[in-house]
Structure 1
Amino acid sequence: MAAADTSYGSLRFRVATPDDATQIQALVQSAYRGRQGWTTEADMLADNRIDVEGVVGKMATPDTVVLFVADDTGALVACCELAKRSADLAYLGMFAVDPRRQAGGIGREVLAHVEAYCRRTWGARRLEIGVTWPRPELFEWYVRRGFRGTGEKRPFPYDELASGEALRDDLYFDIMEKDLGAA
């Protein structure tokens, strides 16, 4: 579903297009596999988090959007994947903030926009995420934003690594959920 540009705080949001896929892939790679920023998984995984074709594939998936988040200069500073999972449940994935700009409030602004988008667009009353274990600092960041652990654990998709390998064989996803209230 395409949407016009919208603003939230100092950020501008729009639904990404395939023309944005290369920029988005580079941002996701730097946030998840680079050595800068607090969200890196480089000590757990030695691969590309996603390739350009994977980003385009997410954009083409029904009931799924990739959001392009820009600062006031138009530069990409964050992105995420949103998917409608059921009548009242949305999923947040591939959430990345430029590592050079992390810890400055961008993630909080993006998350607030995501919640409003999911309520408005899909009528979602709940938002789900999967946090890779062991990432206690990330799990705690989401708890501070109103998410709770559900106790559900999902297997890590070792067979879907974009390229490269896992550096650990004990990874899994802790599933978290946030109540978004009435749509």
Structure 2
Amino acid sequence: MADSTASYSGLRFRIATPDDAPQLQPLVKSAYRDRGGWTTEADMLTDDRIDIDGVIGKIVTPDTVVLFITDDIGTLVACCELAKRSTDLAYLGMFAVDPHRQGSGIGNHVLAYVEAYCRRTWGAKRLEISVTWPRPELSRWYSRRGFRETGETRPFPYSDLAEGEALRDDLYFVIMEKELSTE
């Protein structure tokens, strides 16, 4: 079991509880739907990305954690969902960094923590992500961090949109995977 609160490169990590959902949902929405950061999907989707009940659902799902990540003064700066998919595979989703702080290295530190967490907690040897097509800049960011496209794609869940709509009908997920070191 992981520490309830851990520190890594000036960031503090803890496992979110359902009470954290009202803080997490706006962060996720801003990272994915506002035009302030480079990770936006605002040209493809107008929904909220996820609602509070959806965040709570992820928090309470077995073999899943949502990490609540703050800076050294306690301000929420990032979050992500981690799920154990099999004996050696973990999944990283809902990865959000405050758009005003993107490009500052927070994402790199979060990813390093996530990899160590998945190895330590679940014995994961691989980490999987899904990137919405077309997001070449995001795929390149993950590629520079050791992820490779698997050749697998998955359908985009148009029916799961939260309070909005898709602006394109050709979206799907590109699956990427990284071998985790055995450090």
Do the structures match in fold with TM over 0.5? yes
Q: Does structure 1 residue 134 correspond to structure 2 residue 105? A: no
Structure-2 separation of matches of 1:60 and 1:47: 23
Equivalence map 1:45-124=2 (5 Å):
45-124=45-124
**Aligned residue-pair number:** 183
- 131-140 or 2-11: bigger deviation: 2-11
SS of match in other structure, 1:175: strand
Q: Distance in 2 between matches of 1:101 and 1:182?
A: 30
* Secondary structure of 2:20 counterpart: helix
Partner of 2:36: 36
Paired residue type of 1:92: L
Q: Give the Cα–Cα distance (whole angstroms) in 1 for the partners of residues 2 and 30 of structure 2.
A: 26
- Whole-angstrom CA distance in 1 between matches of 2:115 and 2:126: 9
Per the alignment, in what secondary structure is the counterpart of residue 46 of structure 2? Answer: strand
Q: 1:63-108 deviations in whole A, cap 9, x for unaligned?
A: 0000000000001000000000000000000000000000010000
Query: CA separation in 2, counterparts of 1:97 and 1:150?
Result: 25
CA positional deviation for 1:2: 6.6
Looking at structure 1, the residues matched to 181 and 103 of structure 2 have their Cα atoms a distance apart, in angstroms, of 27
Secondary structure of 1:164's match? coil
Determine helix, strand or coil for the equivalent of 2:165: strand
Match of 1:182 in 2: 182
Q: 1:173 maps to what in 2?
A: 173
User: Hey, what's the Cα distance between the residues in 1 that align with 2:3 and 2:17?
Assistant: 11
Q: Which amino acid aligns with 1:112?
A: A
Q: What is the CA–CA distance in structure 1 between the aligned matches of 2:137 and 2:76, rounded to whole Å?
A: 25
SS at match of 2:173: strand
SS of residue paired to 2:62: coil
CA shift, 1:4, in A, is 1.7
2:117 and 2:70 map into 1 onto residues whose CA distance is 16
Partners of 2:108 and 2:48 in 1: how far apart?
A: 25
Q: Which amino acid aligns with 1:51?
A: D
Which digits, 9 at most, give the CA deviation of each residue in 1:44-78, with x for residues without a partner? 00111000000000011000000000000001000
Give the Cα–Cα distance (whole angstroms) in 1 for the partners of residues 153 and 91 of structure 2.
Answer: 15
Instruction: Find the aligned partners of 2:65 and 2:8 in 1 and give their Cα distance.
Output: 18
- CA RMSD in angstroms comes to 1.0
**2:55 partner letter:** V
> For residues 162 and 26 of structure 2, what CA distance do their matches in structure 1 show?
14
Q: Which runs of 5+ in 2 are unaligned?
A: none
How far does residue 18 in structure 1 lie from its aligned partner after superposition? Answer: 1.0
